[in-house]
Amino acid sequence: MKTVIVKYNAGNVISVMNALNRLGIKPIITDDPEELSGADKVIFPGVGEASTAMNYLRSRKLDQVLINLKQPFLGICLGQQLMCRYSEENDTKCLGIFDLDVKKFPPMEKVPHMGWNKLDFNKDHPLFSNAPEKTYFYYVHSYYAEVGDETIATSDYILPFSAAVQKNNFYAIQAHPEKSGKDGQIILQNFLNL
């Protein structure tokens, strides 16, 4: 199985690569459109800032490549946010895969939301197959995707937000499964099994 991690000058790529290595997968890290289009699975991780990341994708015409992929595609953290329609972070138009906006957490609690938080999900969804019902994942984010029709899991920090979303072959999770121990490994393995 050819698994590709999207290279777009966002952080956290190595952590995702290491998590996949633990599952026996040797991913390719690339921004080459042919490699991305020819992959069996594509993972779009990220830690960083929305407008800089989108500018890189557009400069390489990867924005059009990514939205047209047909294979299973998983966004993680910033990857999920960039798959949405719009981000308040520097007034950024994103990929528009998900019909959701990304907003900044109100300053009622400590922001960024950092640490372990519960994920509420439908246990029948294939992304969460075999995950324990009281699953905690590791988060680091100041922006969140609102809850909408494509939301498949929620979490709550100050307010409820989309912890995971799905539309057709596109899946995304706000938390970091690669930093979330055995429960995170279950999510990554479920994605690889799609």
Residues annotated as catalytic are 77, 176, 178
168 phi-psi bin (left φ>0, alpha ψ -120 to 50, beta other): left
Half-sphere exposure of 94 (CA within 13 A, CB side): 25
Half-sphere exposure of 92 (CA within 13 A, CB side): 25
Nearest-angstrom CA–CA distance, 62 and 160: 31
Half-sphere exposure of 114 (CA within 13 A, CB side): 4
Cβ atoms of 172 and 164 closer than 8 Å: yes
